[in-house]
Chain A
């Protein structure tokens, strides 16, 4: 891109989304709001904490990342973007695949497509320092769209004039 996607002169209120949940449908909602807001001229920041971090792992499947036995077990059990469960009617992990099929049939954007659009639209991705520490996740384990690993104070400072949405 040869110019910033988001026009700084826009008078629209900024949007900040806290992605706490690591469920497929909730992350889909978060990315739908985020990309829709960025495409309609709003500056968007996404802050990923706890289970939400699973969506940002480079490894989309299961990988035992972490420094000790517990964090490695946790990360293997949680998995990555391909292992996100549905918040309801998950049926042992079968439903996200079925839901993706229904979305495809109805020409609704998939999570991967929305995440790619989020990067192209210049949406800022912050990862929570504290939860990464607990779960033993390094910045290198996360996709390149993650600009920085920050604490809550930085996130709030960066969201001073924004609507904050918690998902």
Chain B
């Protein structure tokens, strides 16, 4: 199952908090697609997920300096 989370309107620290809490609600093997802005979220959300042992499958730029990050729990 694939979940989606848009954190482009969130500011620090809720960007990380929302991703963390969403992943905690998911089952292992499920995927989460996160739409985020460049800068702090892009630099730290994928890294933080990898530190927890989740797989970052892809990071694709979209529009307006935003990126789609696909994470597998």
Contacts and interface: CB of A to CB of B under 8 A. Distances in A.
Interface in A1-49: 1, 3, 5, 7, 10, 12, 32, 35-36, 38-41
Contacts of A38: 17, 20
Contacts, number: 53
B52 A117 contact: no
A68 interface: no
Contact of B17 (A3, A41, A121): A121
Interface residues of A, number: 22
Interface residues of B, number: 18
A39 B53 contact: no
Contact of B20 (A12, A106, A108, A121): A121
B1 interface: no
A29 to B, nearest CB: 11
Nearest to B28: A3
Contacts of A1: 24-25
Contacts of B10: 107
Contact of A35 (B11, B13, B48): B13
Interface in B8-43: 9-14, 16-17, 19-21, 24-25
A100 B23 CA distance: 29
Given A36-B16, A39-B48, A40-B44, A109 B21 contact: no
Given A3-B24, A5-B24, A120-B21, A108 B11 contact: yes
Interface of B: 9-14, 16-17, 19-21, 24-25, 44, 48, 51-53
